[in-house]
């Protein structure tokens, strides 16, 4: 197996044992970043810094010092997550020179275990979108077809992992920003229960929903990092899905699916049944209305307030931030919500204290009343669309807004603060990846990762994209 095909867990194990030098692994990834530059997955990386850090880790190991749990793992970091060694642009023009004084706490906890920053990845500008068609730094290209979007907002992180430029990446997830690009790029993406990783040190959108998340080719790699951070390890891990009950809420999550997605999902349910899972068809009552009541109103209200607080540390004004924006969708949205607040403070408080808890209660009742361990559904209603289709896409002859088409299935659990994992479930007839998502009750992160991992092993891994070497 070549170095580029190593999973994060395999690479770390070899480097900790001394069977692989960190410098050699980093060198291979740097070569791949250069070879796949046309995907525009990275905004910045420092080859000299990386090689120095790799040499230092190799010296540490050879001297007999204790090696951390993530020894030598180069991590691709979404460029809205603060890094002290790299500028943090947020994918926007006004922050092109902004260098934070510290690393985001979640990232620092990884570095404390002897991981290192591989570089900063491209994203939808300010993480406020799902195509990663960035008007300042250019679009991220899908490794399976460079004419297609990588998804977003963590598109660069997902593309880097899929194209073997990195074995592991971190991003942020507000309404699907780790899971959507993971689905479209053929990798695994994880959004944890709110506050499990936190969002401190990330350029904000909405504190009610923002969280850091992770991406890798295998769910096992996501589990490796999750266990390293949380220090949790299920004493009775799943070896099969016998006695596991998975909910299927067709009314909301299975409507107007692309035919390839629909067929792949049906096959995925067959695989899950073969693993012993019981598929329980039951709908979350009134989910669409409950989600619509809180989704955009809370997000748009918090977006300006949270950003204004963040900008204090950068020395920029909101007007300067808007002036530096290059993506028409993001710039237009911020101009609108900055000049015309969407809702009143009183309405916002009612949403937080009354309406959002109603959504959370609906999920809680759904899992409890049906005796469910998790629920399962297609991550997105269609695979990657062509770059440039930022306004609308067509599914089954119906033209719908692009944003709604991709965020529809990932949005409700994001608003409820629940954990979710997207796993590849196959390829379309046009050779584009498709994702299947497992969501669980609050705090069930370990369990849904185990379910997702067993599914991924059973259904098989996707082929390496041709652009990935």
Q: Return the active site residues.
A: 78, 153, 177
By CB neighbour count within 10 A (0-12 exposed, 13-18 middle, 19+ buried), where does 195 fall? exposed
Q: How far apart are CA 135 and CA 157, in angstroms?
A: 18
Q: Give the Cβ contact number of residue 18 at 10 Å.
A: 11
Q: How far apart are CA 127 and CA 111, in angstroms?
A: 23
CA-nearest of 218, 220, 194 to 208 is 194
**Residue whose entry in the numeric block shows the structure tokens 């937080």:** 352
SS3 187: coil
Q: How far apart are CA 323 and CA 226, in angstroms?
A: 38
Find how far residue 260's CA is from the centre of its chain. 23
Question: Cβ(165)–Cβ(32) under 8 Å?
Answer: yes
Q: Give the Cβ contact number of residue 10 at 10 Å.
A: 17
Q: How far apart are CA 202 and CA 82, in angstroms?
A: 6
Main-chain dihedrals φ then ψ at residue 329, nearest 5 degrees: -65, -40
Main-chain dihedrals φ then ψ at residue 336, nearest 5 degrees: -70, -50
Q: How far apart are CA 174 and CA 212, in angstroms?
A: 9
Tell me how far CA of residue 43 lies from CA of 23, 36, 107, 204, in angstroms: 22, 13, 18, 19
Between the two ends of the chain, the Cα-to-Cα distance in Å is 13
SS3 469: coil
Q: Strands of 54-167 (E only): list them.
A: 74-78, 116-121, 133-134, 138-139, 141-142, 145-149
């Amino acid at each position: 197996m070549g170095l580029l095909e190593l999973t994060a867990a395999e690479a770390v194990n070899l480097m900790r044992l001394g069977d692989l030098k960190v410098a050699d692994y980093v060198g291979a990834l740097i070569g791949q970043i250069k070879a796949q530059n046309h995907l525009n997955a990275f905004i910045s990386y420092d080859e000299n810094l990386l090689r120095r850090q790799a040499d230092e880790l190799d010296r540490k190991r050879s001297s007999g010092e204790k090696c951390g749990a993530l020894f030598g793992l180069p991590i691709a970091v979404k460029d809205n997550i603060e890094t002290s060694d790299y500028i943090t642009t947020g994918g926007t023009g006004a922050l092109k020179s902004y260098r934070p004084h510290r690393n985001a706490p979640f990232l620092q906890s990884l570095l404390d275990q002897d991981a290192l920053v591989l570089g900063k990845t491209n994203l939808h500008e300010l993480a406020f979108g799902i195509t990663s068609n960035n008007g300042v730094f250019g679009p991220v290209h899908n490794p399976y077809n460079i004419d297609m979007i990588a998804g977003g907002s963590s598109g660069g992180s997902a593309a880097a992992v899929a194209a073997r430029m990195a074995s592991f990446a971190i991003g942020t997830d507000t309404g699907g920003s780790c899971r959507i690009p993971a689905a479209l790029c053929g990798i695994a993406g994880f959004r944890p229960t709110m506050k499990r990783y936190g969002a401190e040190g990330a350029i904000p959108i909405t504190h009610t929903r923002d969280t850091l998340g992770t991406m890798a080719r295998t769910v096992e790699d996501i589990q490796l990092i999750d266990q390293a951070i949380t220090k949790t390890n299920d004493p009775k891990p799943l070896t099969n899905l016998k006695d596991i009950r998975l909910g299927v809420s067709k009314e909301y999550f299975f409507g107007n699916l692309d035919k390839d997605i629909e067929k792949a999902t049906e096959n995925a349910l067959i695989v899950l049944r073969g693993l012993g899972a019981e598929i329980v068809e039951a709908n979350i009552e009134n989910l669409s209305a409950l989600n619509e009541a809180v989704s955009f109103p809370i997000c748009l209200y918090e977006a300006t307030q949270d950003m204004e607080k963040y900008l204090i540390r950068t020395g920029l004004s909101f007007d300067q931030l808007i002036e530096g924006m290059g993506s028409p969708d993001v710039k237009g949205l911020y101009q609108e919500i900055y000049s015309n607040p969407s809702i009143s403070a009183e309405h916002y408080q009612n949403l937080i204290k009354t309406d959002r808890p109603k959504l959370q209660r609906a999920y809680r009742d759904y899992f409890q009343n049906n005796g469910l361990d998790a629920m399962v559904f297609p991550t997105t209603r269609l695979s990657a669309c062509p770059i440039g289709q930022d306004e609308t896409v067509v599914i089954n002859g119906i033209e719908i807004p692009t944003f709604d088409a991709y965020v529809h299935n990932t949005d409700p659990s994001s608003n409820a603060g629940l954990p979710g994992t997207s796993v590849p479930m196959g390829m379309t007839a046009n050779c584009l990846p498709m994702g299947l998502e497992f969501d669980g009750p609050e705090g069930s992160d370990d369990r849904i990762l185990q379910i997702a991992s067993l599914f991924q092993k059973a259904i098989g891994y996707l082929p390496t994209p041709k652009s990935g070497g």
